[in-house]
Amino acid sequence: MIINCKGKLIDLSNPKIMGILNITPDSFFDRSRYDDVSKVLVQVEKMLSSGATFLDIGGHSTRPGAMPVSEDEETRRVLPVVEAIIQRFPEALISIDTFRAKVATDCIAAGAVMINDVSGGILDDSMFDTVTKLNVPYVLMHSRGTPETMQQMTHYDNLVVDVLDDLQTKVATLRQLGVKDIIIDLGFGFAKTADQNYVLLNHLRDFEVINCPMLVGVSRKSMIWRKLNISANEALNGTTVLNTVALMKGANILRVHDVHEAMETVKLLSFLA
């Protein structure tokens, strides 16, 4: 599975790591928040030297219950960061974590190479057309509602079938529009209960029928720390366990806060091949 990131071909048949950089004051894991460009650049250097292939930059918290941020504020947060990273690390592959087409467009113009849309196109009607126009890889995530409402939208007739059907339908729409590089994300923690997250993780192989690379983002999420009665700050070990499961069930990209530990997981599992 190869994706084209503005002319750079990335082979996802060997799992890759995406490092998380939240340019927000309210992300659920406090050590992933960055409000100063110089601090971001220090973390970027650390992530790249640890083996991250992608950097995921987000300026709008999408944790359950998060309050909305204006488009102008989101752009003000992320655009200078994208520009600074590209200036210091011109070969960096930046993913812009946004559900807004305008924010995505501005960041792609500044040097980002991928769009990571946690809403799967439902919060901005122009997103799919924008992805088509920009011709960049698109992470299509399953979700429902908004960050304020999604945790009241966890009823499914059949969880696996319903999520699979939603993603398949949207992939078909994107293919008809001409989008070539689509990565699917089951949306762990988005309109799912903790138990539903584990059902989806256990059925990850079922989603291979879509024939798209799969991104898994479970890093330090409440599905881990609430089950263990700990905090997000203490959830690295649990994250590594679930990342291991995800890789063994076919994940192509791990979206993580802790790049070094995720890279060790990928390396050790490679010896089982």
Q: Which of 46, 102, 221, 227 is catalytic?
A: 221
Amino acid identity, position 132: T
221 assigned to active site: yes
Of 65, 64, 144, 79, the closest CA to residue 109 belongs to 79
Among the listed residues 16, 77, 170, 255, the single catalytic one is: 255
Q: Is 255 a catalytic residue?
A: yes
Active site residue ranges: 221, 255
